[in-house]
């Protein structure tokens, strides 16, 4: 009964005209970002972050969430039509989606991607509604030691689950933690590492840093090469899949939705991982695995559903524990903190309109995306024709003016450039930027929890192993670290 009342309240928030508008704007921009190669949801959310400061927290988060799941929808379009994934989670869609397009079945491929994403998004939202509140109730029992152990675990797992080397990811986490320490000390109120620079006394802003390492560095990486993109000439006829297509896709969509959601909950779980696992799983379960890679519709339906429901799953730890499990969620957390809302297990009870409003808006957003993607697929194909050489100056201006708009400070624009160059060089050297941003955002939270724990235990570090939940989190983190050490020793 409680759930029903909360859901109804959530819908009343989500259906407010302003929230509806920002939900639509988020879904639309997300699709656009997903469609355009060279612009992923992470960099897009980073450079749109400043724009959200001018709107209240509920519509701001509704819009950012819309961008995230919208990009998953849009990403499939470029994978299917051009064989270039609009964003990383759609890489696997290229395998069968593009083959379907070459066989003249681009329409059903796009159709099943959109329908599968809608079903997955809906299932994800329902599971999120059911899982987040009980988890938050459990998390209310967490004290500073449990919280520090959980944050530590999140950082460790993010380093090990990424696509790069764990050691390099750990280095980025440590650097992020160090950068997160710049600014006023949260307990004493004294400035640290600010070198007398006024702008640094509040710390290195999340927006300039995220825009730099994700947005600007992405532009540098893309302008390195001259653009060579060809749109598939064999256009599509009709977007609705046949009855056989629906039959072949039913279980892949269902399995992908469940798998994606649970991968989304895990620290470090992201749509890229879920889409690849889903593809592998479908190929293994299929009666005709030989068809995979040659235009099997299950190879589109499963991964597309999985990557979409992962976005819903990722909201579980963010909204119920206040712990982001990937870089996009870290930016969302940044947006929550900047708006003065305290993240954590009390969010659901303290700000029910925020929690339930976002959840219900995600459902509405998924319906909007279905309407945006199926009938307007022709329009998105036209968007694909916008050349990157015209697009990147716009991205640059958006990044720079977006940052300037925060404090009317040219210093922050310079900070963006510094982080942009740093991100560009480090990405070329195979260092991932997601652990860095996670470190920056989690750093101050971890510091507060750690210092509170030590004050509580009068300096006795055994508090972290004496409490079962904290010990359990630290034990898992230790397993990850030891595994890496053993693997190195074995290789030698």
Partner 1 sequence: MGRVVNIREFLSAVFLAIIGLLFCGGAYMAGIGSPANPGEGFMPLVAGAALFLLSLALLFQRTCSKKISKERNPFWPEKGSQIRVAAVLASILIYTFVFEWIGFALATFILFLFLLKTIDPVSWRNAFFISLLTTVAGFFLFQVWLQVQLPEGWISWWRISQWIF
Binding site for partner 1 (CB under 8 A): 51, 54, 167-168, 170-171, 174-175, 177-178, 180-181, 185, 187-188, 190, 192-193, 216, 219-220, 223-227, 387-390, 392-394, 396-397, 400-401, 404-405, 408, 410, 413-414, 417, 421, 424-426, 428-429, 431, 439, 443, 446-447, 450-451, 454-455, 458-461, 488, 491-492
Report the candidate in 244, 257, 15, 295 with the shortest Cα–Cα distance to residue 118.
257
Report the candidate in 374, 400, 389, 66 with the shortest Cα–Cα distance to residue 212.
400
Backbone angles phi, psi at 225, to 5 degrees: -110, 145
Partner residues linked to 191 by β-bridges? 184
In the chain, % helix, strand, coil (3-state, to 5) comes to 75, 0, 25
Closest contact distance (angstroms) between CB of 229 and partner 1 is 12
SS3 category, 191 = strand
7 vs 223 by CB, closer to partner 1: 223
Closest contact distance (angstroms) between CB of 44 and partner 1 is 15
Burial of 492 (0-12, 13-18, 19+ CB in 10 A): exposed
Closest contact distance (angstroms) between CB of 381 and partner 1 is 21
461 vs 486 by CB, closer to partner 1: 461
* CA pair distance 347, 129, nearest whole angstrom: 14
Closest contact distance (angstroms) between CB of 29 and partner 1 is 13
CB-based contact 416:122 (threshold 8 Å): no
CB-based contact 223:272 (threshold 8 Å): no
62 vs 377 by CB, closer to partner 1: 62
Closest contact distance (angstroms) between CB of 442 and partner 1 is 11
Q: What distances in angstroms separate CA 388 from CA 216, 396, 458, one per listed residue?
A: 14, 12, 58
Write down the residue that tokens 């206040």 correspond to.
Answer: 322
Report the candidate in 63, 42, 39 with the shortest Cα–Cα distance to residue 51.
63
Closest contact distance (angstroms) between CB of 221 and partner 1 is 9
Closest contact distance (angstroms) between CB of 16 and partner 1 is 19
SS3 category, 342 = coil
Closest contact distance (angstroms) between CB of 82 and partner 1 is 18
DSSP state of 266: S
Backbone angles phi, psi at 187, to 5 degrees: -95, -45
376 vs 454 by CB, closer to partner 1: 454
287 vs 491 by CB, closer to partner 1: 491
* CA pair distance 116, 257, nearest whole angstrom: 8
Closest contact distance (angstroms) between CB of 458 and partner 1 is 5
20 vs 131 by CB, closer to partner 1: 20
Beta-carbon contacts of residue 51 (< 8 Å; ≥ 6 apart): 402, 405
116 vs 212 by CB, closer to partner 1: 212
Closest contact distance (angstroms) between CB of 216 and partner 1 is 8
E strand or H helix that includes residue 124: helix 106-139
Closest contact distance (angstroms) between CB of 387 and partner 1 is 8
Closest contact distance (angstroms) between CB of 192 and partner 1 is 5
71 vs 216 by CB, closer to partner 1: 216
26 vs 439 by CB, closer to partner 1: 439
* CA pair distance 35, 39, nearest whole angstrom: 8
141 vs 491 by CB, closer to partner 1: 491
CB-based contact 403:413 (threshold 8 Å): yes
218 vs 248 by CB, closer to partner 1: 218
243 vs 429 by CB, closer to partner 1: 429
* CA pair distance 115, 128, nearest whole angstrom: 20
Burial of 190 (0-12, 13-18, 19+ CB in 10 A): exposed
Q: What distances in angstroms separate CA 357 from CA 12, 13, 16, 237, 305, one per listed residue?
A: 8, 5, 10, 38, 23
CB-based contact 96:299 (threshold 8 Å): yes
């Amino acid at each position: 009964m409680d759930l029903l009342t909360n859901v109804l309240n959530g819908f009343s928030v989500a259906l407010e005209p302003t929230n509806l508008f920002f939900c639509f704007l988020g879904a639309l921009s997300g699709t656009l970002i997903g469609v355009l190669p060279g612009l992923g949801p992470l960099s897009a959310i980073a450079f749109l972050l400043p724009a959200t400061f001018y709107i209240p927290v509920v519509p701001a988060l509704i819009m950012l969430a819309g961008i995230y799941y919208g990009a998953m929808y849009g990403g499939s379009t470029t994978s299917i039509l051009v064989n270039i994934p609009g964003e990383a989670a759609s890489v696997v869609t290229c395998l069968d989606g593009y083959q379907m397009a070459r066989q003249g079945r681009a329409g059903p491929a796009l159709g099943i991607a959109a329908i599968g994403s809608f079903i997955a998004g809906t299932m994800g939202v329902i599971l999120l509604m059911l899982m987040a509140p009980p988890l938050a109730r459990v998390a209310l029992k967490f004290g500073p030691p449990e919280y520090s152990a959980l944050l530590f675990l999140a950082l460790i797992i993010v380093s090990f689950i990424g696509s790069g080397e764990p050691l390099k990811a750990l280095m980025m986490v440590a650097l992020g933690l160090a950068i997160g320490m710049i600014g006023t000390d949260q307990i004493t109120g004294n400035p640290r590492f600010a070198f007398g620079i006024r702008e640094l006394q509040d710390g290195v802003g999340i927006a300039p840093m995220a825009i730099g390492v994700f947005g600007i560095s992405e532009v540098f990486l893309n302008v390195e090469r001259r653009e060579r993109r060809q749109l598939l000439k064999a256009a599509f006829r009709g977007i609705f899949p046949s009855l056989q297509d629906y039959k072949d896709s039913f279980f892949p969509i269902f399995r992908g939705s469940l798998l994606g959601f649970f991968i989304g909950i895990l620290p470090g779980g992201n749509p890229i991982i879920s889409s690849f696992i889903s593809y592998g799983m479908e190929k293994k379960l299929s009666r005709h695995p030989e068809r995979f890679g040659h235009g099997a519709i299950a190879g589109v339906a499963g991964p597309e559903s999985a990557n979409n429901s992962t976005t819903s799953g990722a909201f579980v730890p963010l909204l119920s524990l206040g712990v982001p499990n990937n870089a996009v969620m870290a930016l969302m957390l940044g947006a929550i903190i900047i708006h003065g809302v305290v993240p954590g297990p009390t969010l659901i009870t303290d700000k029910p309109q925020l929690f339930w409003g976002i959840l219900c808006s995600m459902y509405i957003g998924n319906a909007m995306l279905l309407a945006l993607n199926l009938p307007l697929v022709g329009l998105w194909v036209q968007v694909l024709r916008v050349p990157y050489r015209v697009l990147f100056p716009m991205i640059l201006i958006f990044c720079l003016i977006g940052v300037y708009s925060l404090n009317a400070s040219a210093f922050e624009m310079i900070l963006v450039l510094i982080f942009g160059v740093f991100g560009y060089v480090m990405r070329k050297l195979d260092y991932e930027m997601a652990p860095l941003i996670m470190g920056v955002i989690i750093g101050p939270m971890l510091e507060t929890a750690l210092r509170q724990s030590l004050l509580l235990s009068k300096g006795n570090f055994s508090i972290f192993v004496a409490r079962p939940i904290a010990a359990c989190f630290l034990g898992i983190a230790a397993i990850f670290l030891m595994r890496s050490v053993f693997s190195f020793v074995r290789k030698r």
